[in-house]
Amino acid sequence: MEKKTNPNVRMWQGNVACAEGAIAAGCRFFAGYPITPSSEIAEVLALRFPVIGGNFIQMEDEIAAMGAIIGGSLGGAKTMTATSGPGFSLKQENIGFAVMAEVPCVIVNVQRGGPSTGLPTHAAQSDVMQARWGTHGDHPIIVLCPSSVRETYDLTIRAFSLAEKYRMPVILLSDEIIGHLTEKIEIPDPSTIEIIDRKKPTDTPENYLPYKMDDSDIPAMANFGEGYRYHVTGLAHDETGFPTNDPKKIRAQMLRLNRKIQRFRDDIVEVETFNTDDMDVLVISFGSTARSAKRAVINAREKDVKAGLLRLKTIWPFPDKEIEALYKPVRKIVVAEMNLGQIAHEIEWATRREKPVVRVNKIDGEPITPNEIFEAIIS
Amino acid sequence: MAFRYEVRLSGSGGQGLILVGKVLAEAAAIYDGLNATQSQSYGPEARGGASRSEVIISDGDIDYPKAENIDIMLALTQEACDKYVVDLKEDGILLIDSQMVTNIPKGNYKVVALPIIQSAVERLGKFLVSNIIALGIITKLSGVVSEDSVKHAIRARVPKGTEEINIKAFYTGIELAGNWLEKHGSL
């Protein structure tokens, strides 16, 4: 006999939620090369895309996969690739190309221990700086960090929206714990999901400028094959897309490229606070570790220690304003992350080292436990 | 306060413990209306090596999704038992395969030793269903999820065509646990 259950409730892994979130966002092209702990994303899309009219390609390596999603996006598709540390290293050159050529796409990095092949099956959060500066040159980047299966679904959709809105690659920085964690998720009604698509040109093909300087700072993007012909290059280019050595034009385009994110950072940066109103210890964390941090804050409160949590959902652009608004009244700041202090360093900078920053770090593949953070709060 | 029940399933890679974790979590979350998470830890090998799968069941939010104060732990190999027993709470249940785990670690917990793998081979002719027998035992001993929900979750999760043998294995586990309880009184 069938048992009555809510049809929208599923037990999904973070990686499954990522794949399903991509589908919900309208992604119909995935190119990748399997790597633990991200492979389930490719597995799900390889099964789902043929049924819903999408395309899945397993490329010869991660470099080619990154190239393929750039091409797919120029052709008008919402595109994604998924990988982990070693593959993320390989993708960096083409991520830079996507930034420079302003090609929307989503790169998922389910973090594992590094450097090199490191710990394939164990979690880390040590690609924070690589996500920011892995590719060379002054460039903007958006990096989102989910802390749950549901949030993986939501932030994958948001990654596509931000990529399309700001014409740039967006990185979803998950980790092995969240990627492989199975938990309950109630799938939202599609009508409640906000989907944003890239701005299309209103100019005729003859008058179209793919990198037009105007008040919006975000040029309209024509899809290849729709009659608009333009040049795409990683070289510094002018409004037409052709390479230029004119310092004035280079400066104008480079400043616009970076201004896109500076100008709209309030639309991009998202954080969540918990018990921060009367706190005197501020705990800051992100991704899977933020769950341990929340438990530590609850346990501290039970011992009458006024701890509060700031959870970073966006890590780049860095939530400096949000930290600024919280840290003044506190006695100290505890930063928990599965690396040797990549975010802690940014926090020290954002708070001008006015408060002691206690670091809770772990790099052995094991999660940071609530108790380890609790000890740092009460010490 | 919300209850939190922690299960650790340990053994060697390839014994199907991640599947058992998923079935147990689905029984709780989808069919019993509770909250549940399932996570795993294993090495890079496809088979072999100590592996573990963990399920947290609660009627409230589950923040930290890993086990650290375990209510019931299954060990199907000596290596996994030695390595993972450390987080078993005082008075917790240590369920071991009586043939595979012969060196029972000292500690303040209740040990339930049952011929899990032997029953799979002798009663069902399939070594592979040892995991589902263990699931039956855990269901009976823990009482944290209903038998009916686990049965539904098994049917929904196991490969097509193997439902019947898996359901049989599940009831074999329920029976083994029932006999143990009868013999030893309650836990």
* Nearest of B133, B171, B155, B126 to residue B27 by alpha carbon: B155
Map out the domains of chain A as residue ranges: 9-192, 205-266, 273-378
Q: What is the pLDDT of residue A51?
A: 97
> Does the beta-carbon distance from A369 to B66 stay under 8 Å?
yes
Q: What is the pLDDT of residue A7?
A: 86
One-character DSSP codes across A292-333: HHHHHHHHHHHTT--EEEEEESEEES--HHHHHHHHTT-SEE
User: How do residues B105-121 score in pLDDT, each as one tens digit?
Assistant: 999 999 999 999 999 99
> Does the beta-carbon distance from A182 to B64 stay under 8 Å?
no
Assign A183 to helix, strand or coil: strand
> Does the beta-carbon distance from B40 to A369 stay under 8 Å?
no
Give the model's confidence band at B19: pLDDT under 50 very low, under 70 low, under 90 confident, else very high. very high
Q: How far is CA B59 from the centre of its chain?
A: 20
* Contacts of A218-221 spanning 24+ positions with Cβ under 8 A: A218/A165, A218/A166, A218/A167, A218/A260, A219/A102, A219/A167, A221/A102, A221/A104, A221/A167
Beta-sheet pairing, A142-144 with A314-316: antiparallel
Q: Which CATH number fits domain A9-192: 3.40.50.970, 3.40.50.300, 3.40.190.10, 1.10.760.10?
A: 3.40.50.970
Q: Tell me how close the Cα of A292 comes to any Cα of chain B, in angstroms.
A: 5
Q: Of chain A residues 207-266, which have a CB less than 8 A from chain B?
A: none
* Nearest of A30, A63, A275, A261 to residue A156 by alpha carbon: A30
Q: What is the pLDDT of residue B61?
A: 95
Cβ contact A149:A85 at 8 Å: no
Map out the domains of chain B as residue ranges: 4-184
Give the model's confidence band at B45: pLDDT under 50 very low, under 70 low, under 90 confident, else very high. low
Q: What are the angstrom distances between the C-alpha of A238 and each of A248, A249, A252, B126? A: 10, 6, 9, 69
Tell whether A122 lies on the interface with B, counting CB pairs under 8 A. yes
Query: Which residues are paired to B47 by β-bridges?
Result: none
Tell whether A371 lies on the interface with B, counting CB pairs under 8 A. yes
End-to-end, the C-alpha distance of chain A in Å comes to: 56
Beta-sheet pairing, B4-12 with A307-312: unpaired
Tell whether A39 lies on the interface with B, counting CB pairs under 8 A. no
Q: For B26, which of A11, A294, A367 is closest by C-beta distance?
A: A11
One-character DSSP codes across chain B: ---EEEEEEEEETTSSHHHHHHHHHHIIIIIS--EEEEEEE--S-SS-SEEEEEEEEESS---S-S-SSEEEEEESSHHHHHHHGGGEEEEEEEEEETTT--SPPPSSSEEEEE-HHHHHHHHHS-GGGHHHHHHHHHHHHH-SS-HHHHHHHHHHHSPTT-HHHHHHHHHHHHHHHHHHHHHH---
Structure tokens, A198: 């890239």
Q: Which CATH number fits domain B4-184: 4.10.490.10, 3.40.920.10, 3.40.640.10, 2.60.40.3880?
A: 3.40.920.10
With contacts defined as CB-CB under 8 Å, which chain B residues touch A291? 63-65
Q: What is the pLDDT of residue A344?
A: 98
**Rg over CA atoms, chain B:** 15
Q: What is the pLDDT of residue A214?
A: 95
What type of residue is A271?
Answer: V
Q: What are the angstrom distances between the C-alpha of B65 and each of A131, A246, A367, B12, B44? A: 26, 55, 10, 22, 22
Q: Tell me how close the Cα of B90 comes to any Cα of chain A, in angstroms.
A: 18
Q: For B42, which of A9, A121, A177 is closest by C-beta distance?
A: A121
Q: What are the angstrom distances between the C-alpha of A359 and each of A123, A298, A339? A: 18, 19, 10
> Does the beta-carbon distance from A181 to B41 stay under 8 Å?
no
Handedness of CA A8, A9, A12, A15 (dihedral sign): positive
What CATH architecture is A273-378? Answer: 3-Layer(aba) Sandwich (3.40)
Beta-sheet pairing, A78-83 with A105-113: parallel
Q: What is the pLDDT of residue B50?
A: 85
Which of B39, B68, B86 should we substitute to test contact with A (largest number of A Cβ atoms within 10 Å)? Answer: B39
Q: Do domains A9-192 and A273-378 have the same CATH topology?
A: yes
Give this prediction's pTM.
Answer: 0.96
Q: What is the ipTM of this complex?
A: 0.92
In angstroms, rounded to a whole number, what is the distance separating the alpha carbons of residues A272 and A193? 20
Longest dimension (CA), chain B: 45
Q: What is the pLDDT of residue B47?
A: 66
* Nearest of B72, B83, B117 to residue B98 by alpha carbon: B117
pLDDT per residue, tens digit, chain A (379 aa), is 566 788 899 999 999 999 999 999 999 999 999 999 999 999 999 999 999 999 999 999 999 999 999 999 999 999 999 999 999 999 999 999 999 999 999 999 999 999 999 999 999 999 999 999 999 999 999 999 999 999 999 999 999 999 999 999 999 999 999 999 999 999 999 999 999 999 999 999 999 999 999 999 999 999 999 999 999 999 999 999 999 999 999 999 999 999 999 999 999 999 999 999 999 999 999 999 999 999 999 999 999 999 999 999 999 999 999 999 999 999 999 999 999 999 999 999 999 999 999 999 999 999 999 999 999 999 9
**Rg over CA atoms, chain A:** 21
With contacts defined as CB-CB under 8 Å, which chain B residues touch A121? 41-44
* Half-sphere exposure (Cβ direction) of A236: Cα atoms closer than 13 Å: 16
Mean pLDDT, residues B8-25: 94
> Does the beta-carbon distance from B43 to A11 stay under 8 Å?
no
Mean pLDDT, residues B1-17: 92
Q: What is the pLDDT of residue A88?
A: 98
Q: For A5, which of B30, B65, B66 is closest by C-beta distance?
A: B30
With contacts defined as CB-CB under 8 Å, which chain B residues touch A183? 25, 29, 35-38, 62, 65
> Does the beta-carbon distance from A121 to B39 stay under 8 Å?
no
Residue that the structure tokens 């700031």 belong to: A310
What type of residue is A24?
Answer: A
In angstroms, rounded to a whole number, what is the distance separating the alpha carbons of residues A110 and B5? 28
Q: What is the pLDDT of residue B68?
A: 92
Percent of chain B with pLDDT over 90: 89
Q: What are phi and psi of B5, to 5 degrees?
A: -120, 125
